[in-house]
Amino acid sequence: MNLSPRSHPTDQTSLSLIQRLRNNDNTGWQRLNELYRPLIHFWCRRSQLSESDAEDLTQEVLAIVSAKIDSFQHGGDKDTFRGWLRVITRNQILMHLRATRNSPQGIGGSTVLDWMNNIQATGEESEKIDPQTENTERHILFQKSLELIQSEFETNTWTAFIQTAIDGRNTADVAADLGLSKGAVRTARYRVLRRLRSEFGDILN
């Protein structure tokens, strides 16, 4: 089954979730960890870090987020939580690479050196995120968000959502296959989408 969203998910984190984090809500922090840990790990591994170093830096980034969550300001499409998190992760990766570059077990290879050379003096990346990487990041978040809520729904409800919202099948065909009315299929889709938005914000277009 194809779990790629038919329409691109947005990269906005639920403001209610952010408020829960600022209130030091344990469930909110657990949700954040479950949702964003795979993406942070992806960024670390993409930067040629070893599996163990990627795990360590992922934990460091989450600790920094915990300490600095009050400093995050949501300002629309350009000031997203994912972008803020990327900056924190990038800075931690850069410090790690600089510390290990000249060590006996330092990370080598032109890929890492080229990446470091593309960092401006301010610590900002000099090149924009390419569309393929952007889509990969969004897909990681989208797929993980689905995993986190799937157990909350009955099998027919979830199947109706996946086949219509994700696989793009016709509502009438899905209704016939599942022995449901078209209205029931539309309701199932709406329920799952509403749950996604209430938990994670506008993660779907």
Residues of the chain with CATH 1.10.10: 153-205
Per-residue pLDDT of the chain (205 residues; tens, 9 = 90+): 444 444 444 445 555 788 888 888 898 899 899 999 999 999 999 888 999 999 999 999 999 999 999 988 876 555 788 888 999 999 999 998 888 776 555 554 455 555 455 544 334 444 467 788 888 888 888 899 999 999 999 999 999 999 999 999 999 999 999 999 999 999 999 999 999 888 887 433 3
Nearest to 158 by CA among 27, 30, 36, 3: 3
Residues of the chain with CATH 1.10.1740.10: 15-148
Beta bridge pairs of residue 200: none
Architecture of domain 15-148 in this structure? Orthogonal Bundle (1.10)
Compute how many other C-beta atoms are within 10 angstroms of the C-beta atom of residue 185.
Answer: 27
CATH class of 153-205: mainly alpha
Q: What is the Cα–Cα distance from 40 to 181, expressed in whole angstroms? A: 41
Q: What is the Cα–Cα distance from 60 to 88, expressed in whole angstroms? A: 10
Q: Is 124 helix (H, G, I), strand (E, B) or coil?
A: coil
pTM of the model: 0.72
Nearest to 138 by CA among 69, 36, 18, 29: 36
- Whether the CB-CB separation of 138 and 11 falls below 8 Å is answered with yes
